[in-house]
Amino acid sequence: MRSLLVFLILLVTTGCTLAQESDLARKLRELPGVVNITPFKRDTLFSEEYEIELRQSLDHSNPDGRSFTQHIFLSHRDADGPTVLETEGYAARAGRARELTRYLKGNQIVVEHRFCGKSAPDSLDWRCLTLKQSADDLHTIATLLKGIYRGKWISSGTSKGGQTTPLYPYYYPDDVDASVAYVAPVNLAQEDPRLLAFFRTVGTPECRQRIKEYQRALFRSADRILTMVDSLISRNKMILPLGGRLTFEYMVLEYPFAHWQYGIPCESVPDAGAPAETLFSHLNRVVGFSLYNEQGMKYFQPFQYQAYTELGYYGYDITDFKEYLHAMNEPTNRVFAPANVELKYNCATMQSINKWLQREGNNIIYIYGENDPWAATGIELNGMTNALQMVKKGGAHGSRISTLSPEQQELVLSTLEKWLHLTIPR
């Protein structure tokens, strides 16, 4: 009798839970454009989580034209609580709650960027990969899901996703109540010269010189290192579309950027007289081949296209290394963009966005690391908005709210409380 009673209680409880879960699933499934939902479970902060496949217009100005399926990861906690819209810049996958979601104890919506991952159209019409089209994607998603999530909405993203975060309210200022952009550059040229200037002042003179001597040592050991590269290619069955020598030269030029972006301790940089094996091991660990192998180049092509048509990027200063460059003349990251595709840079886009952010971009918090190269092209606030810019002293690309000083953390959280009219647990 006791076992039967326990079984009946469990059955009733389970039935109630399933009914609750299926109610949210039903609402999602009935949304216009939703073609599939798949439950998953990644984080105990949430009661339900779903991967949503949403049919989006490839060109939002032509809704009757071609479409693609965009992938969204929805993590549900409370329909009346705050909702964090994570503006990804690349492919996305089901993951745990992001930092801001944990602070706010909210719902989370992670949107895979168009043309990336599983959200790539069958036929890549690169002309449809624009900042406006990606903002249209986010607006469509927010409009649909605001019928379910009635609390405050906050957009947030990191790095490339961080760039998307303040661009979104530029196009749709009423969609979100606040934004938090992590390590988000605001580049104003196809290869913004402010990034080159940054490498002449970051850190200490001793560290900058040590890096330069390390790069020279790499070039002087090129023959020995290229043998190691060939061996690595063979072992890993790796394809380098640029070839071994050109890839190596780009990796060496890239080293200062990677060093400061990832916060590599200066004392870990090998001495110029170190063996070639030591020199290459450090280069492979810090820079690596992920940007240069066939798979990596294909993965980053959508970003590179956007960088060289609207977002802007960075170039290289080869003044100290011209004598060592045998495979390149004028290095440019344009080589990593899609081949045989027009890369016409529209400088007006980011100029207009930057001006709006400075004059009208309210309720936005920007977080940077002092030594992160992308801080060199960070937002330059002029006091015309209530936006907040926080810089982690000595910080790199991993700078977050939790890495700021206690005083900075408190200012960020109290500012969000004021903007969102809610209390954030400390």
Which of 14-18, 259-263, 313-317 comes out lowest in average pLDDT? Answer: 14-18
Residues 296 and 382 in one domain: no
Confirm whether 21 is domain-assigned: no
Is residue 5 situated within a structural domain? no
The pTM is what? 0.92
- 123-129, long-range: CB < 8 A, 24+ apart: 123/66, 124/338, 125/58, 125/66, 126/305, 126/338, 126/341, 128/58, 128/59, 129/302, 129/305, 129/306, 129/309
Number of structural domains (the chain) is 2
Residue 10 has pLDDT above 50, yes or no: no
Class of residue 67 by CB neighbours under 10 A (exposed 0-12, middle 13-18, buried 19+): middle
Tokens of 44: 């105990």
Of 18-22, 88-92, 368-372, where does mean pLDDT reach its minimum? 18-22
320, part of any domain: yes
Give yes or no: residues 173 and 220 share one domain: no
Q: CB of 100 within 8 A of CB of 401?
A: yes
Q: Out of 20-34, 139-153, 182-196, which region has the weakest mean confidence (pLDDT)?
A: 20-34
In a domain, 115, yes or no: yes
Q: Does residue 165 share a domain with residue 123?
A: yes
Question: Is the CB of residue 48 less than 8 Å from the CB of residue 39?
Answer: yes
Q: Give me the pLDDT at residue 311, please.
A: 98
Tell whether 155 and 200 lie within a shared domain: no
Domain stop point among 297, 315, 336: 336
